[in-house]
Structure 1
Amino acid sequence: MHLYDGHFGGMHLIWWIIWIIFIAWIFFIPTDIPYQKTKKDSPLDILKNRFAKGEISKEEFEESKKIINSDN
C-alpha cells in the first residue's frame, strides 16, 4: 500500500518549491547588498572623515588635500 498512490503529495510539492527558491536565492543574490562588502575609501574620503571628526585642523586638511590632489 502506497501513501501517495504514485502521485506527488501536496506538502511534498510545497517543500520542493521552498528548497528550489532557497537555492535560487543563494545563487542569484545581488552582490551590492548594503554592508555586505566593505567599500574601499579613497584617500580624500578618509581625509574628509578625519576633518569631520575633528582629528585634524583646517590647515592640516587643506595642506593634505593639496598633496592628495597633486598626486592625481
Structure 2
Amino acid sequence: MDTLLAGVTPAATALADHGWDGPGPWILLFPLFWIVVVLLVVLVLRRAFRGRGWAGRPDSPLAVLGRRYAEGAIDAEEYRARRAVLTEDPRERRGGAE
C-alpha cells in the first residue's frame, strides 16, 4: 500500500486507509436542491405577474376607457357599453353571429 500512495498527501492517505471512495451519489442532491429553488422562484414570479392582462397596463384600452369616464368625456351608459365590448369573450361573439 505504501508504494501505491507514494507522493500522495497525508490527508488523502488517511482517507484511503478508512475506505473513503469519494462523495458518493448523494452529492447530486446539492445541485438538484438549487435547481428546485430556482424553479420555485420562477413559478412564484410568473404567478404573481400573470392575470394582469389588459387592465394592468396604463395604456390599455380598459385603462383609457376608465380615464375618459373619470374625466367626464363619456357618460356612464357609454362607459358600460364600451366596457362590455372590451371585456366580452371573443368566442361568444363568433357563436352568436352564426
TM over 0.5: no
Q: Which has the higher helix share?
A: 2
TM-score, length basis structure 1: 0.42
TM-score, length basis structure 2: 0.35
- Higher Rg of the two aligned structures: 2
